[in-house]
Structure 1
Amino acid sequence: MPDEHPRVAVIGAGIGGLTVAGALTARGFPVQVYEQASAFSRIGAGIQQSANAVKVLRELGLEPTLRARGFVPASFVHRAAGTGEVTNDIPLGARAEGRYGAPYLALHRGDLHDVLLAAVPAGAIHRGRRLVGLEQPGDGVELAFADGSRARADVVVGADGVHSLVRETLFGPHELRFSGKAGYRATLPASALGGERLDDNTKWWGPDRHLIVYYLTAARDEVYAMGTVPEPDFDLESWSAKGDVDVFCAAFADFHPTVRTLLGSVPLVHKWALADRDPLPRWSDGDVVVMGDAAHPMMPHMGQGAAMAVEDAAVLVRCLEAAAGDWSGALRRFEETRRARTSEMQAISAGNSFARTGKDAVDFVYGYDAWTTPLAGAPAPTTTSTPGGNDR
């Protein structure tokens, strides 16, 4: 039957891949996820899921668990690096939930991954499957993996990150644009701070660097710090590479004493080069599409990279549900629906000015609902008019 759900293969079991797999599973799509790693590791990292992302995860039934594991900050405070002067204070907590229809959550990236993993049947996730080839012979998509195994699907979703093989196979090399800055990140127990009082969620702004600090748990017993530092010659884009704690601390030696106390308690730091890409002109080819970082990697300055992948997942599922058998048309509709928003988010994040002193773009970012936003090509709302009268 032309309107039967397609068999979907998702390449990559990160945040975006698991979200789209969970959403597809919830709607009855047969889905298989192929992940190159043989096991999932809990590398220290925080993640923020603002209302635009939580509204997607709510439909998967995950909100209660995420609330229990994560932390709901009362506000997002922006401070001058040296003096600690507040330059902006964005209300979160109950005020943001009332305005945007969902909470703003901060949590450990590993906790979010665990919750998403539980939303996908265990038998549908295949670890140790590194994609090495992809072909579209005319009737479905053929996948080849490094271990010699093969798979077949009607639709393939490349959620395989910034170094996506799916993207490169479809469109050729598309070089990363390195920013000349390195990102340092660390998690640490709050008890290590010796009673130092922290804001719920703070961005400390220096002239050429910044540091974001927030709690990761409802108990406020774990803290995350992520800083960016100019390092023009560093270009290693690795999520697991370790950095030098002393270098990290020295980079913020002129910041407020609260920052110095915090960084002086950091036991271990990871480091990666900050990079993005120009927006892709196309995200799909035939019955294969890329999403998340594979399609639109962005700087981490807004905390929206994962949220964009989560939004992608909901819109992609909606397009497939409405496809009536035209899977390639559904994938084109998905990219047409998402391209303008993700391109603008890439630009805002690259500029690193979001919410520093004003409320610019806050509603645009947090108010989006991927389940209700109009899909590209959808009929415009109609009204009934009478001559000489008002619309009714």
Structure 2
Amino acid sequence: MSSKKRFAIIGAGLGGAAVAVLLKQAGFDVTVYERAPRFSRLGAGIHMGPNVMKIFRKMGIEEKVSLMSSHPDYWFSRDGLTGEYMSRIPLGEFALKEYGAAYVTVHRGDLHDVMLSPLDEKDVIFNKHLESIEDTGNEVLMTFADGTEAKADFVIGADGINSMVRENLLGKEEPTYSGWVAHRALITGEQLAKFDHDFEDCIKWWTEDRHMMVYYTTGRRDEYYYVTGVPDPDWNSNASFVDSSREEMREAFDGYHGTVQALIDATESVTKWPLKNRNPLPLWRRNRMVLLGDACHPMKPHMAQGAAMAIEDAAMLVRCIEEVGLTDFETAFELYEANRKDRATRVQATSNANTWLRTQEDPAWCFGYDLYSEPLKNISK
């Protein structure tokens, strides 16, 4: 394939990083335009299941990710009030044997650094806030807030739920607030050691209308992270997040098990984020522009598969480009959408319903998925 075809990727998050690396490995020119002035190690954790670790294998980063991550033996679900186990989903050695790769939990910032590491410094340009985009027929013209312009043969919108590329394809429409917030906090191992509780590697505490997901973010077990889902009908801020407090956490989880109360007591800093959503989009691509990740299927984080779907999108997009070639790029992009839409929509619906692994169930349809061995669906012409 020609290395002269130029891909512009809008957004250098996990999906943008994955598609940039995979396209570069396939021999294409890539430039990633990132709105942020730089990346920092924000206090957030993330799950990476075997379905994604197999893509990291293709990217050449599986071992690095594995070495720095926590490897839980189980996903536990427990009743938030009584502590009774509701499910014990085997991971660890079971995942390696049954699903073909590890299940890990990791700090999002550490993972991001590793995912970007195969790219050269010149491949990612920061401080580039996309203001407008135009498909001229032969190429795509991008204009940024700093007054600069850039051109590319193709543009991939990996720019999140407020995607400017999505807006160009479908018109301006604000995402909807779900009525839920997520509290996020990172607790040091030193702080955790002050409390005499059994802090399990990967556990979700549930009651009828709220939950707290907790796990380690490093193989050293020196960081313990929690993220919640709590109903909150009145989100009145334009900010992406606001500060919360231990007092607010105690009120939200009043009556919860003593281990949860100990976690709240150990919390030094906690933030609160609105969970926003979009309905499934009628299209993911048009002409020389194509979407992936939250730009086309944002979801609540309750299944811990949102970033995984963006990375799967990236891998399938590059697979379809390599399968079809770019002389018929519209077919390549159509093939990508046809081979991603059903799975992404299923994960989106399951995640939004917040039932995943609450009771004993078989997660093989999600964790055992191997994007590279899955036969491509045919598209009719």
Q: What is the CA–CA distance in structure 1 between the aligned matches of 2:360 and 2:154, rounded to whole Å? A: 43
Aligned residue number for residue 383 of structure 1: none
Deviation at 1:226, TM superposition (A): 0.6
Once the two structures are superposed, residues 346-373 of structure 1 have per-residue CA deviations (whole angstroms, 9 ceiling, x without a partner) of 111111111111215x111111112222
Matching residue of 1:390: none
Distance 1:54 1:278, change over 3 A: same
TM (norm. structure 1) is: 0.93
Matched residues in 1 for 2:276 and 2:354: separation? 13
8 Å contact 1:184–1:243 — kept in the other structure? yes
> Deviation of residue 121 (structure 1)?
1.4
Q: Provide, for residues 270-301 of structure 1, a one-character-per-residue CA deviation record: whole Å limited to 9, x for no partner.
A: 21111221111100010101100001000110
Matched, 1:290 2:291: yes
Residue in 1 aligned with 2:43?
44
In structure 2, the residue matched to 1:86 is: 85
For structure 1, the 5+ residue unaligned runs are 380-392
Are residues 1:114 and 2:108 paired?
no
Alignment RMSD: 1.6
Judged with a 3 Å threshold, the aligned counterparts in structure 2 of structure 1 residues 30 and 4 are, in CA distance, closer, same or farther, namely closer
Q: Distance in 2 between matches of 1:344 and 1:64?
A: 29
Distance of aligned partners of 1:239 and 1:44 in 2 relative to their CA distance in 1, 3 Å threshold: farther
- CA displacement, residues 284-319 of structure 1 (integer Å, 9 cap, x when unaligned): 010101100001000110000000001001000011
Q: For residues 277-316 of structure 1, what are the structure 2 equivalents within 5 Å?
A: 277-316=278-317
Counterpart of 2:291, as a letter, is V
Alignment of 1:184-199 (within 5 A): 184-193=183-192, 194=194, 195-199=196-200
Distance 2:76 2:333 in 1: 39
Unaligned runs of 5+ in 2: none
Greater shift, 171-180 or 343-352, is seen at: 171-180
Contact 1:74 1:94 in 2 (8 A): yes
Further displaced range: 196-205 or 245-254: 245-254
Aligned 8 A contact 1:237 1:274 in 2: no
Q: 1:230-241 alignment to 2 at 5 Å?
A: 230-234=231-235, 236=237, 239-241=240-242
Matches within 5 A, 1:4-153: 6-153=5-152
Give 2:281's aligned amino acid: L
Distance in 1 between residues matched to 2:46 and 2:226, nearest whole Å: 11
So what's the TM-score if we normalise by structure 2? 0.95
- Report if aligned partners of 2:12, 2:32 keep a CA contact under 8 Å in 1: yes
Q: CA deviation at 1:253?
A: 2.2
Tell me which residue corresponds to 1:205: 206
SS at match of 1:297: coil
Inter-partner Cα distance in structure 1 for 2:238 and 2:95: 34
Identity among equivalent positions (%) equals: 42
Deviation at 1:139, TM superposition (A): 0.7
| SS of match in other structure, 2:177 | strand
Once the two structures are superposed, residues 113-148 of structure 1 have per-residue CA deviations (whole angstroms, 9 ceiling, x without a partner) of: 111121211111000011011111111111111111
> Is residue 240–residue 274 contact of structure 2 (8 Å, CA) maintained in 1?
no
**Aligned amino acid, residue 132 of structure 2:** G
2:342 corresponds to 1:340: yes
Once superposed, which parts of structure 1, at least 4 consecutive aligned residues long, lie more than 4 Å away?
A: 2-5, 235-240
- What are the Cα deviations for residues 189-236 of structure 1, in whole angstroms up to 9, with x where unaligned? 122122422111000001210000001111111100111111101165
Matched length: 377
